[in-house]
Amino acid sequence: MKISQEELVSVLSQFNPWWRGESMAELPGWRRAAFRELHAWLTAPPAPRAVLLSGARQIGKTTLLLQAIDALLRSGVPASNILYVTFDHPLLKLAGIDAVLQAWRTREPAADGNEYLFLDEAQFIRDWGTWVKHQVDFNKGRRLAFTGSALPIMADSQESGVGRWHTIRLSTLSFFEYLQIKKLSLPTLPTLRSLRDLYQWQPAEFLRTGEIAEPYVAHFHEYLVRGGFPQTAQVDSIPQAQRLLREDIIDKVLKRDMTALFGVRRVLDLEHTFLYLCMHDGGLLDMADLCANLEVKRPTAQNFIELLESAHLIHRLPPHGYGKDILRARFKIYLADAAIAPAVMLKGKAMLEDHAALGVATETAVFKHLFTRYYAAHVRFAYWRGKKDHEVDLVADINGRLVPFEVKYRMQHTGRRELKGLTELCETRDIRHGYVVTRALNDFGPLDPPAPGAGTASKIMRVPAPLLCYWLGASELDSADLQIRV
C-alpha cells in the first residue's frame, strides 16, 4: 500500500529522537546478560551476519535494542546512521521495509561509517527471510539486528537464513534479573563460577549461605506467580500483573499473531489447546487424551502445538534415549514461564498454598533457567524414564556427558529413598554428578553417600530452588565455564 513519504518520515522521527539531538526515554540502568552478546555482534561481529533476538512478547527485546542504540550513540556512531523501526506500527507495516529505508534517507543523509538497522517485530516484513539474506550478502556496510515474537517456520526462510543471521534466544527474566528490576535490597549471596564448585564447599558454608538466603524465598515464590515478564514484574498488584499477562498471551499472541502470521482460523480450538497444556504444565503430553477432550483431530492438535512452540510459549522435551521406542514415546511439555499457567487459569497467589502446583511451577522455572543458560552451547535436554517407571525430571546432555536434575520441592528433607529414578540413571549410565532441587534452605549440600555395597558412587548435590535459579541467572556467572563444568 502506498504511504506518503511525509507520513513515514513523521512516524520514523517519533521512534528515532536521536536524529533531533534528543535523548531516548529513560532506559533501565541494568542490562540483561544477552546485552553483551548483542553488543559484540553489532560492534565486532565474529562473522558477517545479522542478529535475531528471538523470544515471546513482552520479555524485553525492544529494551535491549534501545540499550544497544544508546551504547552506539555514546561510542560516537553518527545519529543519522542508526535507524529503529517497529513493524507493529500499522503504517510502517503497510508501507514495507523498502519504503521505510527510503524515507529514512530522505530525512537523514548517510554519514561515514557503518549503518545500523534495528527492526522490531520483523515477522511482519513481507518475505523477511529473503530480505535479510540480501542485506547480509550485498550490503556489507550495514549491521542489522531484528526481533521476532513468532517467526513463521517456513522452509524457504530457513534456507535463506543459513549462515545469514545469528540467533540470540531471549527467555523471560531469570530470578536474578527479576530481583534487579525490582530494585530489592537483599543480603549478598556467594558467587559461583560453576555449580560444580559446590562440591568443594565445607558444611559451614552451606549452613551460612542457607541463613543468608532466607529473605530470598518469599521473593522467589512471588516471582513464580508474577513471572519473568518485565512489565508484570513491576506492577504492584499481582491480580493486575496476571491480567496483563493473560491479555498479552490470549489476545495478542493467540488471537492476533497466530491469525496474522500463520493464518489460524480455529482460534478457539487453539486457545483450548493452550489451556489444556497449561493444566498439564511439566507433564507428559497425552495426544489421545488431548484430542478426545478438545474434540480435535490429531494432525490439527499437532499443528497447534508446533505453532505454540514457534511462538515461544511452550517447550517440548523428548525422552532421553535412542531407537524406535523413543520415537514412539511422549513429549514432556513445559510452559515458557512458571507464571503463565496460574495467570491463564486464574489461580492468583492462592497457587502458593497448593503444594502440587507450587512444585510444578518450580520445576518449570528450573527448566527455564537451565535452558536459558545452556541453549547457546547446544546442550540437549530430555527427561528420563527407567525400566520400573522411575523418572528423572531433566537430563542435560553435554557432548555425551549426562547431568541429571531432579526437582523435589517439598518441606521434607530429601534422602536417597526419594531418588530412585536418579539413583537408577546414575548407576546405569555411570554418571558421577547429579543435582536435586529442593525447597528448604537447610536441605542443602551433598547427599549422604550410599551404604557400602549399595551401588552407585555418584555424587548428588542438593540445591534449594531459589539459590539454583539465582546462580544460574546471575550475570557474574561465567557461562563458558558453566557449559563445561555443571
String of DSSP letters for 205-257 = HHHHHHHHTHHHHHHHHHHHHH-S-HHHHT-S-HHHHHHHHHHIIIIIIIIII
- DSSP state at residue 18: G
Residue 467 CB coordination number (10 Å): 25
Q: What is the mean pLDDT of each run of 10 residues along the chain (486 residues)?
A: 87 96 85 91 93 89 94 96 94 93 95 96 87 92 88 46 82 93 92 90 96 97 92 87 86 82 85 94 93 93 91 91 64 94 86 90 96 84 87 91 93 84 90 93 85 60 96 64 46
- pLDDT for the residue 157: 47
- pLDDT for the residue 259: 82
Q: Look up residue 362 and give its three cell numbers.
A: 518450580
Element (H, E) at 336: none
**Euclidean distance between CA atoms 334 and 361, whole angstroms:** 10
**Euclidean distance between CA atoms 148 and 134, whole angstroms:** 18
Residue 335's φ and ψ, nearest 5 degrees, are -75, 160
Domain 5-170 has CATH 3.10.20.340: no
- Identify the three-state secondary structure at position 421: helix
**Euclidean distance between CA atoms 66 and 27, whole angstroms:** 8
For strands 459-464 and 433-438, give the pairing: parallel
- pLDDT for the residue 477: 45
Amino acid at site 196: R
**Euclidean distance between CA atoms 103 and 27, whole angstroms:** 27
Tell me if 319 sits within 8 A of 252, measured CB to CB: no
Q: Closest by alpha carbon to 473, among 374, 381, 347, 329?
A: 374
Q: Closest by alpha carbon to 405, among 457, 364, 346?
A: 364
- pLDDT for the residue 154: 38
Give me the residues paired with residue 316 across strands.
333
- pLDDT for the residue 161: 56
Long-range residue pairs from 232-237, CB within 8 A, at least 24 positions apart, any chain: 232/58, 232/339, 233/173, 233/178, 233/181, 233/182, 234/181, 234/182
**Euclidean distance between CA atoms 467 and 437, whole angstroms:** 9
Residues making up the chain, counted from first to last: 486
Q: Look up residue 460 and give its three cell numbers.
A: 548428588
- pLDDT for the residue 386: 84
Give me the residues paired with residue 381 across strands.
396
Exposure string for 381-419, b = 16+ CB within 10 A, e = fewer: bbbbbbeeeebbbbbbebeeebbbbbbbbbeeebebeeb
- pLDDT for the residue 193: 84
Helical H segments across 24-60, by residue range: 34-43
Amino acid at site 340: I
User: Which single residue is written with the C-alpha cell 514461564?
Assistant: 337
**Euclidean distance between CA atoms 85 and 91, whole angstroms:** 11
For strands 401-407 and 380-385, give the pairing: unpaired
Domain ranges of the chain: 5-170, 176-485
- Identify the three-state secondary structure at position 313: coil
**Euclidean distance between CA atoms 140 and 49, whole angstroms:** 10
Q: Look up residue 148 and give its three cell numbers.
A: 521476532
Torsion of CA 384, 385, 386, 389, to 10 degrees: 160
Exposure string for 439-451, b = 16+ CB within 10 A, e = fewer: bbbebbbebeeee
- pLDDT for the residue 33: 84
Give me the residues paired with residue 284 across strands.
332
Q: Closest by alpha carbon to 466, among 209, 275, 122, 244?
A: 209
Tell me if 352 sits within 8 A of 225, measured CB to CB: yes
Residue 362 to residues 73, 194, 241, 287, 440, Cα–Cα distance (Å): 41, 21, 19, 24, 13
